[in-house]
A = this chain, B = another copy of it.
Amino acid sequence: MAQKTDPSASTPAEEPAWKQRAVERSTKAAKLRAEQRVERFLDAAQAIITEKNTTDFTVQEVVDRSRQSLRSFYQHFDGKHELLLALFEDALRRSSDQIRAAAAGQSDPLDRLRVAVQLLFELSRPDPGAQRPLFTDFAPQLLVSHPAEVKIAHAPMLALFSDLMTQVEEAGQLREGVRPRRAAALVMQTVMFVAQSSGVAEEDNAHPLSADEVWDFCAMGLAQP
């Protein structure tokens, strides 16, 4: 395919418009097909993850479930990590939308931030039923193996918290000397990570950290003013 279009680039006069259109039509079709295939892989993976509540599936499982082939898989993804990354990005984006919507229900900027923190905490903790082992399970691994991509995936959530934090600042409710963007990053990571490790219940003692506790910590810290 690339071999067909490249020649036209080197000698444009040779390629009449109809041919370009034809090529484009076929290209578009190909893209569509590719998107559908990718979609099927993503759906299959998501289904498996939800079922097994872990990201420990094999590529083969995804391939079988999506009724496609290994060949196809590797033609569309650079590897398993890209598939996971895609799902992770997606989950994070949807979650940030959800949080943004929830926060919008509050009129006070600090309340908006509070709601966001608390909801993020809930969403980030291990299996509140069957959702998002992506956050809790997968994120840590990626953070080690593909930090740059993870940062990109975090972007929407970070943007949300930056917004909220900036609003808090504009309302004069931010402590002196706190830079809103950095605070946003700090809070986001704190909440996500703490939620993660707090989730181990077992026969434990007092652990079950609550969203309120986390919020109080973020908002007011530890020290007596």
Show the binding face of A for B, using Cβ within 8 Å: 110, 113, 136-137, 140-141, 143-144, 147-148, 150-151, 165, 168, 172-178, 181-183, 185-187, 189-190, 193-194, 196-197, 200, 202, 206-207, 209, 213-214, 216-225
Contact = CB atoms under 8 A, between A and B. Distances in A.
Contacts of A187: 222
B222 A218 contact: yes
A214 B221 CA distance: 11
A151 B175 CA distance: 34
Copies, count: 2
A221 B224 contact: no
A72 B172 CA distance: 64
Contacts of A209: 182, 185-186
A186 B224 contact: no
Contact of A186 (B141, B172, B217): B217
A219 to B, nearest CB: 5
A194 B184 CA distance: 12
Nearest to A55: B144
